[in-house]
Structure 1
Amino acid sequence: MSKTAATPPSAADPSRWKALVFIALAQLMVVLDATIVNIALPSAQTDLGISDGNRQWVITAYALAFGGLLLFGGRIADKWGRKKTFITGLAGFALASALGGAATGEAMMLGARALQGAFGALLAPAALSLLAVMFTDAKERAKAFGIYGAIAGGGGAVGLILGGFLTEYLNWRWTFFVNIPFAIIAAAGAWLVVREPAGGRNRARLDVPGVVLSTLGLVALVYGFTRAESAGWSDGLTVAMFVSSAVLLSAFVLTERKVNSPLLPMRVLLERNRGGVYLSLGLAVIAMFGLFLFLTYYLQVVKGFSPVKTGFAFLPMIAGMITGSTQIGARLMTRVPPRLLMGPGFLLAATGMLLLTQLEVGSSYPALILPAQLLLGLGMGSAFMPAMSLATHGVNPADAGVASAMVNTSQQVGGAIGTALLNTIAASATTAYLTDHAAQAAAGGAAAKLIQAQAMVEGYSSAIWWAVGILVTSSLIAFTLINTGRPGSAGPVASGGGVADEVRIPVVAH
C-alpha cells in the first residue's frame, strides 16, 4: 500500500524536470512514428518492390505489435522497474529503426516495423507511468502533463511534417534513421537523470493467460479494423477477426476476475474517472486520425500541395495543441475539475471539425482550414492534458504502468478504428456522388477531373460530419463520467449522480 509522505517525492527530486525533457523526447519519437512513415511509404514501396497488396503491412505490422503488446509492456514496467523498461524500450526501438532504414526487401521492412511496435509497447507506458510517480505535487503535475499532453496530441502532425521533409529532400530511409539520435539522447539522459521513486513495484507473478488473451484479442481487434479499410466490413476474414477479438477479450475479462495477480486489475479499468478518460480519449482519437488522413489527401491530391508543404500545412494544429496544453490546460488544471477542461475542450475541437464540413474543391486554406485547425488543436490540447494526468488518478503506484498502458491502448485502437471507419464512410459517399454524376464523369477532360475532385471532397466532408458527432460524444462522456475535483482539493467531490470519489494524488511508498 502507498503511504502519504509529508514531502511529495517530486518536491524532493530537482532532477525531475530534466527527466521530463528526455521522457517527452521519447514519447515524441513513438507518436510521430505512427505517421512519419505514411508519407515515405510510396517511395519505400518502389525501392523495396513491395506489392500493392502488402504495402498496408508496413503500417499494420507496427500497429498490431504496438496495440497488442501495450498491456503486457505496462505490466513489465510495473514489475521490472519503469526506468529499466524505458531505457530498454528506447534501445530496442533504435535497433529496429536501424533495421528498417537499412531494409533490403519486404520481409526485412515488415520485421523491422513489427519490432518497432513491440519496443514502442514497452516504451510508451513506461514513459507515462514515470511521470505519474515522479510528479505528485498538483501544480508541478499540471505543468509536466501539459507538456506531455501537447506531445501526445501533436506528435502525429509533427510526423507528417518531418516525414514530408525527409522524403522530399533526403531519402525515405531517413524516416527510420531519424529515430536513432532521438533514442540515444533520450536513453543517455534517462540513465543519468531519471530517479524513479523507491517502492511501487508489482512483485506478483506474471499473469501469463492474461498476457496471451489480451495480446491476441487486441491484435485481432486492430487487424479487423485495418482489414475492413481495404477489404470491406463484410469480408470473411474481417468478420472472423472481430468475432475472435470479442471471444478472446471476453475470456480475458473473465480470467482477470479470477486470477490472484491479474495483468489488468478491474479496479484500474472500472473506476469511473479512469474509465471516462479511456473511453472519451479513444473516441477523440478516432476523429483525429480520420482527419489526418483526409486533410493529407485533400491537400496533396485536390490542392496539389507537395509533401513538405502538406506537412507544414498542419502547423496551426500543432501550435493550437501546444497552446491548449501548456497555456490553457496546465494553467487551469489546478483550479477547475478535469471535466471542465475535457468537456469544453472536446466541444471546441468539434467546432473546428464542424468548420471542415464546409470543405469544397476551391476552399481557401487561410480562410477555412487554418482557423479550423487552430480550434481543433486548442480544444484537443486543453482536453488531452488533464486526460493524460487523470489516467493514473488515485491508482496504486504498483499499477501505474498498466493504467498508463490503457491510455495508449485506447489511443491505438481509436486510431485503427478512425482510419478504417471514417475512410469507409468517405469512400461510400464518394462512390454515391460519382454514381449520381456518372454522365459528367464519363465526358472526360477537365469536367471529369473536376467531378472526381468534387466526389473526393464530398466523401471527406461526409466523414467529417461523423467526426463532429464523435467529438461531441467524447465531450458528453467527459461531463458525465468524470467527477473528480480539481487536483489537490480536499475531501470528496460530489458530481452528477455518482458516488463521490476522494481525490488522491498517488504518492509512492518508501
Structure 2
Amino acid sequence: MPTRTRPSRLLALLVLCAGSLMVILDGSVVAIALPAIQRDLGFSAAGLAWVVNAYLIAFGGLLLLAGRLGDLLGRRRVFLAGVALFTAASLLCAVAATPAVLVLARFLQGAGGAAATAVSLGMIVRLHPEPAARTRAIAVFSFTGAAGSSIGMLAGGVLTGAAGWPAIFLVNVPIGLLVLLVAGRVLAADRGLGLRAGLDVPGAVLGTSGLMAAVLAIVGTAEHGWTSARTVGAALLAAVLLGAFAHRQRVAATPLLPSRVLRTPDLVAANAVQFLAVAAFFGFQFLLALALQLVLGLDATAAGLAFLPTPVAIAVVSLGFAGRLAARYGARPVLLAGLGLAVVGFLLLARLPADGGYLADVLPAVLVFGVAGGLVLPSVTALAMAGADPADAGLASGLVNTTQQVGGALGLAVLATLAASRTGSLREAGWTGTAALAAGYRTAFAVAAALVVAALVLAAATVGRRPVADRAVALAPAEPAGRTGG
C-alpha cells in the first residue's frame, strides 16, 4: 500500500470506523423497534426473533470467508462491496411490507456487514505500520465497536418514537452512500493475492455453513431451550460441518484457515480471551437493559439514556489513555487491568436489589464497564493483530470479528437462559415477580463475572508471553511471512 499523508490516513481511518459503526449500530438498534415491527408487519411471536437471528447468522457465518476474500481480491474492493450491499439491504428493510421480505433483507444486511467489517482491521494495520500510530488507530476502531451497541439502543428508541421503525433502516442509506463516496477516494487500492493464490471453495462452504449452524443453534436457545431437538440438531450439524472443515484445512493445498495462522501464539490466545470477555460483555448490555425496565421500572428511552455513561467512558479511556498506556507499558498489562475492572463491574451488578436505584446500584457499574471496555478491546485487538502475517491480515481481521460475534451470541444465550431459569424456579417457590427477576439477573451477572475471571487467568497465562511483548514492541508491524508461518 502506498505511503499515505497524515490527513489522508486519518480520513481513511474515520471512513473505516464509520462503516463499522453503521454495521454495529444495526445489530442493536433494531431491538427496541421489535414491538412496532411485529405490530405493523404481523410477525408471530416466534417469527419476530428472525428479524434479529437472520442478521446474526449471516454476519457471524460469513466473517471468516469475507476476511479471506479480502486477502485474495483486495480489502478495499471487499469493503466497498460490503458497504454497498449493506446500504441496499437497509433500503429493502425500510420498504419491506411482509415478514419474509424483512427477514431476507436482514440476512443480506448481515452478509454486507460481514464483508465490510471483516477486512477493516486488516486495512487499518496496513495504513498504520508505525507501532504508536497503529495503537492509536486500533483504539479509535475499538471504540466504535465497544460504544456502538450502547448508542444503538438509544438511537433505536429515539428513531422509532419519532419517525417509526423504517427510520432505523433508512438512516443507513445516506450514511452508506457517504461512506462509499469518501472510501472510494481515500482508501488506496490493493491488489490482493488474486484468486489464483487459492480460495478453498469446499473449505469455505464447510466453514461458513458450520458457523451459520452454530450461530443458529445458539440464537434459538431462548425460544426452544438447550435440550430441544432443534437446538441439539443444529449443534450436531455445526459440529459435523466444523469437524469436516478442520479436516479439509489439513489436506487442502490452499486452506481457508492456514495452519500457520493457528500457530501464531498471541493471535490464538488473544482470540480465546476475547471470546470469553465478549460473551460476558454482550450479556451485560442485553440483561441490564431488561433489568432497568423490568426491575427498576424505567421506560425504553430512559433505559437507553442509562447506558450513555458507558460509551462516554469508553471514548475517554480508549481514545485518551489506552494507546498511551499500551505504548508505555505494553498491551498485556493494559488488557489484564481492564479485565480486572470488568470483574468488579459484574460483581457490582451481581448485588442489584429488587428495590434498587439507578444512581446507587447501576451507575457505578456502568462507569466501571466503560473504563474496562476502553482498556480491554483495543489491547486484545492489538495483541491479536500484531502476530498476523501481512498477507493474512484480512483473515486475521475476520477471525477476530468472528470470535466477537460467536462469543457474543453464545454468551447472550447462556446468560439469558440462566436468568430466565433462575427467575422461573423462584417464582414457583413463591417469590414475587420483581424479586424473582432481580435474583435471576443477579445470577447471570455472577456467571458473567466468572467468565471474565476465566479470561483474566487465560490472558495472564498465555497472552504476550514472548520477551518483547511486554513493551510497545508487541504492537509493532507484523513480521515477514517466514517468521509467523510456523
Which bracket does the TM-score occupy, shorter chain normalised? Answer: over 0.9
Shift in Å, 1:11: 6.4
Structure 1: unaligned runs, 5 residues or longer? 1-7, 439-450, 486-491, 496-500
The alignment status of 1:357 with 2:338, answered yes or no, reads no
Shift in Å, 1:203: 4.8
The alignment status of 1:473 with 2:454, answered yes or no, reads yes
Shift in Å, 1:258: 1.3
Q: 1: CA distance between counterparts of 2:411 and 2:123?
A: 29
- For residue 324 of structure 2, the aligned residue among 331, 346, 354 is 331
2:37 counterpart SS class: helix
Give the 3 Å change call, closer, same or farther, for CA 502–373 of structure 1 in structure 2: closer
Q: 2: CA distance between counterparts of 1:376 and 1:502?
A: 25
Residue pair 2:73, 2:193 contacting (<8 A) in 1 also: no
Q: What is residue 233 of structure 2 aligned with on the other side?
A: 240
Q: What is residue 457 of structure 1 aligned with on the other side?
A: 438
Q: What is residue 424 of structure 1 aligned with on the other side?
A: 417
Q: What is residue 321 of structure 1 aligned with on the other side?
A: 314
The alignment status of 1:287 with 2:268, answered yes or no, reads no
Shift in Å, 1:303: 2.6
Residue pair 1:11, 1:137 contacting (<8 A) in 2 also: no
What letter corresponds to residue 53 of structure 1 in structure 2?
Answer: A
Q: TM-score, normalised by structure 2?
A: 0.94
The alignment status of 1:493 with 2:468, answered yes or no, reads yes
Q: 1: CA distance between counterparts of 2:194 and 2:103?
A: 35
Q: TM-score, normalised by structure 1?
A: 0.90
Bigger share in helix:
2
Shift in Å, 1:243: 1.3
Q: What is residue 146 of structure 2 aligned with on the other side?
A: 153
2:197 counterpart SS class: coil
Shift in Å, 1:202: 7.1
Residue pair 1:147, 1:325 contacting (<8 A) in 2 also: yes
Q: What is residue 164 of structure 1 aligned with on the other side?
A: 157
Residue pair 1:80, 1:201 contacting (<8 A) in 2 also: yes
Structure 2: unaligned runs, 5 residues or longer? 482-486
Residue pair 2:132, 2:327 contacting (<8 A) in 1 also: yes
The alignment status of 1:265 with 2:258, answered yes or no, reads yes
Residue pair 2:85, 2:112 contacting (<8 A) in 1 also: yes
Deviations 1:475-504 (A, max 9, x none): 11221111256xxxxxx5388xxxxx9875
Q: What is residue 290 of structure 2 aligned with on the other side?
A: 297
What letter corresponds to residue 493 of structure 1 in structure 2?
Answer: V
Q: Identity of paired residues, percent?
A: 37
2:387 counterpart SS class: coil
1:234 counterpart SS class: coil
Root mean square deviation of aligned Cα:
2.0
2:31 counterpart SS class: helix
Deviations 1:348-397 (A, max 9, x none): 01111110011112212112211101111111210100222222223222
Q: What is residue 505 of structure 1 aligned with on the other side?
A: 477
Q: Superposed, which structure 2 residues align to 1:14-413 within 5 Å?
A: 14-196=7-189, 203-413=196-406
Residue pair 2:74, 2:191 contacting (<8 A) in 1 also: no
Q: What is residue 464 of structure 2 aligned with on the other side?
A: 483
Shift in Å, 1:302: 2.5
Shift in Å, 1:306: 2.4
Q: 1: CA distance between counterparts of 2:71 and 2:192?
A: 10
Residue pair 2:267, 2:387 contacting (<8 A) in 1 also: no
Q: What is residue 484 of structure 2 aligned with on the other side?
A: none
Q: 1: CA distance between counterparts of 2:126 and 2:180?
A: 19
Residue pair 2:59, 2:114 contacting (<8 A) in 1 also: yes
1:379 counterpart SS class: helix
Aligned pair count reads: 479
Shift in Å, 1:473: 1.1
